[in-house]
Amino acid sequence: MPVCSLRAEELYLEPVIQGTALEEAVPVETIKDREYIEWEALASVLQIKTDYTQEHIVFEFMEKKSDIDLRTLSPEKWKKLNGRIYFERPFLEKELNVTFQINHLDMQLEIDSERKLPLTRRLEAQSKRQNLRPYKEYDSFANYQFDNR
């Protein structure tokens, strides 16, 4: 199990999921020019159903179930820092079928995919519900004419 103590750079980035900025932060470590993203924070942001033990991480994301065996995974692809698990950016991109761009200037982690991510679908549905106009009340006397004889 790889354990690192020396860190070159620790960043807390604001996640931007398909153009929507969130208020949470995702820790990203840069070790020997490799970027590692903290799994638990990323799973929370992307709403990934996950369960893990010391050796396995089982997760479901966008109708895909995966099981990562940390014992057989290359030490370059993951690190354990301060009790938290970090995965290398390219490994996560392959596993989750998303792309990560780190914007150092704005301190943002831009997350995108060819498909709509679950959070994006949920936010679009909320927006549609808010923009729905309620039906006008039917006025049964609106066309009624009084006979004034």
Q: State which amino acid sits at residue 149.
A: R
Backbone angles phi, psi at 93, to 5 degrees: -60, -40
Report long-range pairs for 65-74 (Cβ below 8 Å, ≥24 apart): 66/95, 68/95, 70/1
Give the residues across from 7 on adjacent strands: none
User: What pTM did the predictor assign?
Assistant: 0.78
Residue 125, SS3? helix
Average pLDDT, the chain: 86
pLDDT band for position 146 (50/70/90)?
Answer: low
- Contact (CB, 8 A) for 107 and 11: yes
pLDDT in the model for residue 40: 94
Residue 84, SS3? strand
The predicted model gives 112-139 an average pLDDT of 80
